[in-house]
Structure 1
Amino acid sequence: MKTLILIFTLLLYPTQDETMKDIGTAMKAGSSKELIKFCNNTVEIKINGESSNYSRSQAEVILRDFFNKNSPKSFTYIHQGSSPEGLKYTIGRYTHNDGAYRVVMFIKKIGDNYLIDTLNFSQE
C-alpha cells in the first residue's frame, strides 16, 4: 500500500528534471503558450537589458512577440545549479535564424511546482 501511495505521489507531482525538460521543449518550439505554464504568477522578463515584471498573461504576449521575431532553431542547456536558499538557475543557448541568445532562468519551488521567476535573454 505504501508503495502504491509513493508511485501515485511521484506521478502526480512533476519533478524538477521533468519541469526542466518541458521548459526546454517549449523553448525549442518557441511556444509562449507552453512556456508560460512554467512561469510564476508574476515573472521578470529581461530582453537585451530591458527588464520588467509581468503577470502571466502579459508575459505570454511578450514571449510570443519575442519568439515571432526570433524564430527558434534550437535550445540547449549549458549549465544548471542551485543556491543555498533553494533557488535553481539555468543557463541556456537559444539559437534563431539571425543569431543566438544566452538565456538565464531563475526557478523557484512554489508549493509542489518549480516555476520560472526570472527569464533573461541576452543577445550573443
Structure 2
Amino acid sequence: MKTILAAVILVAGQSVINYAAAKENAVVVGFQRDLDEQLLRYLKNGQAKALVGHFNSSVNLIIEKEEGHYSKFQSELILDDFFRHKKVEDVKVVQSVAANNGGARYVVYQLKTSQKTYRVFLRMIRVDDEFFISEVRIE
C-alpha cells in the first residue's frame, strides 16, 4: 500500500512539473514570436535605431560582403545608411529556429527593396531571460 501511495505521489508530482515546464515553454515561444514580429516591423520600416535597441553591446555586422565587429552606435549608423539607400518594400519571416539548449535563436527574413531582394539573418543570444542580437547578415 505504501508503495502504491508513493507511486501516485511521484506521478502527480511529475505531472505538476511537466505542466509548469510546458506553460513556461509556451510563454517563451509566444515571446519569441512577438520579438520576431517586432523585428520584422523595424526592418520593414527601416528603423535602425529601434532594431539596434535589441543588439548585444557589440555585434558582427555583414552587409553585402562588408564585414566587421561594431558597437551599437556604429551599427546604427551603418544600418541607417543601408536603409536610407535601399527603400524597403516588403519583409517576411522565412525561418525562425531556437537552439536546443535555448541559449540562441536564429531568424531569417526576406527583405525586398526596389533594386534587390536580400536575405537577412539574425543570430540572437540569450542573456539571463532576454535575447539580444549578436550577428546581422544582409546578403
TM normalised by structure 2 equals 0.74
Shift in Å, 1:97:
1.1
Superposed CA offset, 1:3-52 (max 9, x none): xxxxxxx8xxx922221111111001011011111111101110122210
The gaps in structure 2 that reach 5 residues or longer are 1-26
Match of 1:98 in 2: 115
Bigger-Rg structure (1/2): 2
Give the helix-richer structure, 1 or 2: 2
Give the strand-richer structure, 1 or 2: 1
Cα RMSD after superposing both structures: 1.6
TM normalised by structure 1 equals 0.82
The secondary structure found in structure 1 opposite 2:73 is helix
The secondary structure found in structure 2 opposite 1:24 is helix
After TM superposition, the structure 1 stretch with the greater mean CA deviation from structure 2, 110-119 or 27-36, is 110-119
Shift in Å, 1:71:
1.1
After TM superposition, the structure 1 stretch with the greater mean CA deviation from structure 2, 85-94 or 69-78, is 85-94
